[in-house]
Chain A
Amino acid sequence: MRLEPRAHVPFWLNITAPLGAVVLAFAFCALLILWAGAPIIPAYTALVKGAFGSTFALTETLTRAAPLIFTGLAAAVAFRAKLWNIGGEGQLYAGALAATYFGTGLVTLPPYLMIPLLFLVGAVAGGLLLLVPVILKLKLRVDEVVTTLLLNFVVLLFANYLLFGPWKDPLAMGWPQAAPIIDEGVLSPLVPRMRLHQGFIWAIAFAVFAWAFIRFTKWGFQIRAVGYNPEAAAFAGMPIGATVLRTALLSGGLAGMAGVCELAGLKGYLTLDISPGFGYTGIAVAMLAGLHPLGVIASAIFIAAIYNGADAMSRAMSISNYLADVLTATALLLVLASVLFVRFRPRLR
């Protein structure tokens, strides 16, 4: 097989190719469902119903999508500049730690100031955490993939130390959790009696902001240019180092805000299971969206639907909900491949 570049990419191919990849991912997981001894159609029906079947299911899906929009944006922005930030999970916890530090009584402000403050400190914490590997990359050419990955474990252990040690809430019956966020900092619910909270609106707002930033500003243009061709960008007089640093602050900041969103919106207090791998799933979200900030909204809702739907399916018919992770990983790989076939035409020799 040979790949030759397409001179003209038909518009419909940009949409059908990734969709086809997602369909293939579902087909692959259908084999796993068969192997588990369950009928395919009812299983997938249960999945769709569990994701969108009722007001409760729908709001739960959107609730889960909120942090995924943030981590998806974090990956999308960084990958645009070819900055391989795989540390979203650690940055998420850094954001949650900072928000816990400021939000549990250290400062008390009215809600319209308190909530932005929590997002700000979370973003700063996440951004600063990513700054460490990025400065190492710029100054010493230390590969950022491995350092960001390793920092995830360090941050999680640090949170573990705080929650079992100095930050442990004495009122929590011995559970490792921090004191609750004060009422002024809690993100209010959007739908009565449901868990969907204001954080979802914040996520959408930041997706639009990230899109506008990358699309219309000078700094955003530099991020794209550095990603496409750093030599050409440098030749055109763009500050490569400064651009990468800005990208890092933006990407780490977005991942940090995912932690704030979960903390102040859903849990109310810091625990060690505040994120079931949102940082890693964010990479899949970003790739499914083709690294487009607005596409991240759709793909985050889609992946959140898969996770919530798989939970419902596993309750209904004893299929392990790890199927959602398999489905996401398969979709990630297949969508990655499908993009190639948009740009190139496969030719059999």
Chain B
Amino acid sequence: MELLDIFITLGFWGALVRMATPLIFGTLGELICERAGVLNLGIEGIMTMGAMVAWMWVYQGGDLWTAVLVAAACGALFGLLHAVFSVYLGLSQHVTGIGITLLAASLSYFVFRMLLPDVTTPPKIEPFKPFAIPGLSEIPYIGEVLFTQSPLTYLAFILVPIVGYGLYRTPLGLAVRMVGENPMAVEAQGIDVHRLRTCAVMLGSAFMAVGGAFLTISVFDAFYIGMINGRGWICIALVIFASWRPGKALAGALLFAAFEALQIRVQQASSAVIPYQFFLMMPYILSILAMIVMSRRAAYPKALLVPFRKGER
């Protein structure tokens, strides 16, 4: 009975769409990197960096949309750093990624603490307001859920078909997919493998940073330590769950957001019976289960994790 009540409230569906947004950005970003053959474990740190930079930009008096751009640029910068190590130098993508996560997260916390040394409660900013799309938002039920959201949420949903089109219908997308499957074939076409992979990692990292920025300048209004809380790792699991396809990534992100939105509401309804910590575990356990379910069909990009060195086979 109570479960049914949750599903018919509009608040639940609105929260679902909102919570899916950072997952969509992060999953698309990771997907682009992995399609080009680079596992980007820097995602957790890059999302933290995006969250901090965007928040700080607005806090210092900057404009919200410029903050998104600045976060994306910072993300791309860390993507470049990742690419220098993992693509140009061909070092272990696992260790590089962990290193980038540690570096980006600790730099974010350091800069945050240095710029705001004496605050105990994180100060708030004026975040993105929900933007009601004229006309569409008037549709009963659907309008409130889908068309009265933060502008960044619209951006996330629009990016899914754009990334899909880019990957499957453009020569550049073909090259990106090919460099993740068979870099030597790309080389034979006269395309610079290293440059292509670097661009893909930078673009993907920019997406991740915007996902982080969404949390601070659209949802929580504040930045605090440890706020990404494993969302980046969940995105990596979602990429596998989505079989490296943007459309399925959207479906996966929505499914996960549904569990997250449901979890909060069930938790309130049944806190006496089941301790809340078990609800908080759900996204992580579900991510593991999703990977187990998809494991038989997981078709990893063939050159994922394999560095490319010219003239070496």
A interface residues (Cβ-Cβ under 8 A, vs B)? 2-3, 32, 35-36, 79, 84, 86, 136, 140-143, 145-147, 149-151, 153-154, 157-158, 160-161, 164-165, 280, 283-284, 287, 318-320, 322-323, 325-326, 328-330, 332-333, 336-337, 340
Q: Which residues of A contact B234 (CB under 8 A)?
A: 150
Chain B binding surface, main DSSP class: helix
| Interface pair A322/B109, CB less than 8 Å apart | yes
Is the C-beta of B164 less than 8 angstroms from some C-beta in chain A?
no
Shortest distance from the beta carbon of A160 to any chain B beta carbon, whole Å:
5
Q: Which residues of A contact B90 (CB under 8 A)?
A: 340
Q: Which residue numbers of B lie inside 8 Å of A, CB to CB?
A: 39, 41, 85, 89-92, 94-96, 98-100, 102-103, 105-107, 109-110, 113-114, 117, 229-230, 233-234, 236-237, 240, 275, 277-278, 280-281, 284-285, 287-288, 291-292, 295-296, 298, 309-310
B122 to chain A, nearest CB (A): 15
Interchain CB contact under 8 A, A336 and B95 = yes
Taking a contact as CB atoms under 8 Å apart, the answer to whether A287 and B95 are in contact is yes
Complex CA gap A325/B229 in Å reads: 18
Question: Are A157 and B281 CB-contacts (below 8 A) given A150-B234, A326-B107?
Answer: yes
Given contacts A161-B277, A326-B110, A329-B106, contact A140 B85 (CB under 8 A): no
Say yes or no: A140 contacts B296, CB within 8 Å: yes
17 example contacts (A-B, Cβ-Cβ < 8 A) are as follows A32-B110, A36-B114, A86-B98, A146-B237, A150-B285, A153-B229, A158-B277, A158-B281, A164-B277, A280-B98, A322-B109, A329-B107, A332-B102, A336-B91, A337-B85, A337-B89, A340-B89
Q: Which residue of A lies closest to B109 (CB)?
A: A322
> Are B287's CB and A320's CB within 8 A?
no
What is the CB-to-nearest-CB distance from B39 to chain A, in angstroms, rounded to a whole number?
8
- Which A residues are in CB contact (< 8 Å) with B240? 143, 146
B92 with A145: CB separation less than 8 A:
no
- Chain A contacts for B109, CB-based, 8 A: 320, 322, 325
Contact at A323–B110, with CB atoms within 8 Å?
yes
Taking CB atoms, residues of chain A closer than 8 Å to B288 are 136, 142, 146-147, 150-151
Q: Kindly list chain B residues whose C-beta atoms are within 8 Å of the C-beta of A149.
A: 230, 233
Flag if B309 contacts A3 (CB, 8 Å).
Answer: yes
Measured CA separation A283–B39 after assembly (Å): 18
In the complex, the answer to whether B284 meets A153 with C-beta atoms within 8 Å is yes
Contact among A147, A150, A164 with B230 in the assembled complex (CB-CB below 8 Å): A150
Please state if A336 and B103 are interface contacts (CB–CB under 8 Å).
no
User: Chain A contacts of B296 at CB under 8 A?
Assistant: 140
Chain B residues, CB < 8 A from A154: 281, 284-285
**Min CB–CB distance B261 → chain A (angstroms):** 18
Q: Which of A136, A165, A333 is close to B99, meaning CB atoms less than 8 Å apart?
A: A333
**A84–chain B nearest beta-carbon distance, Å:** 5
Task: List residues of chain B with CB within 8 A of the CB of A161.
Answer: 275, 277-278
CB-contact partner of A330 in B85, B103, B113, B233, under 8 A: B103
Interface contact B91-A340, CB-CB below 8 Å: yes
Are A333's CB and B233's CB within 8 A?
A: no
CB of A336 within 8 A of CB of B92, answer yes
Q: Indicate if the CB atoms of A329 and B287 lie closer than 8 Å.
A: no
Q: Which B residue's beta carbon lies closest to that of A281?
A: B102
Q: Give the CA-CA distance A164 to B275 in the complex, in Å.
A: 10
**Bound state CA distance, A268 and B98, in angstroms?**
31
Among B92, B109, B240, B277: residue with most chain A CB under 10 A: B277
Residue A333 contacts which of B85, B114, B236, B278 (CB distance < 8 angstroms)? Answer: B85
* CA distance in complex: A332, B280 (Å): 32
Q: Are B275 and A283 in contact (CB under 8 A)?
A: no
Which of the listed residues A32, A142, A337 has the most CB atoms from chain B within 10 Å of its own CB?
A: A142
Min CB distance A136 to B, Å, is 6
Partner of B284, one of A3, A79, A150, A336: A150
Q: Which residues of B contact A164 (CB under 8 A)?
A: 275, 277
- Top 7 nearest A-B pairs by Cβ distance? A325-B106, A320-B113, A329-B103, A329-B102, A161-B277, A322-B110, A140-B295
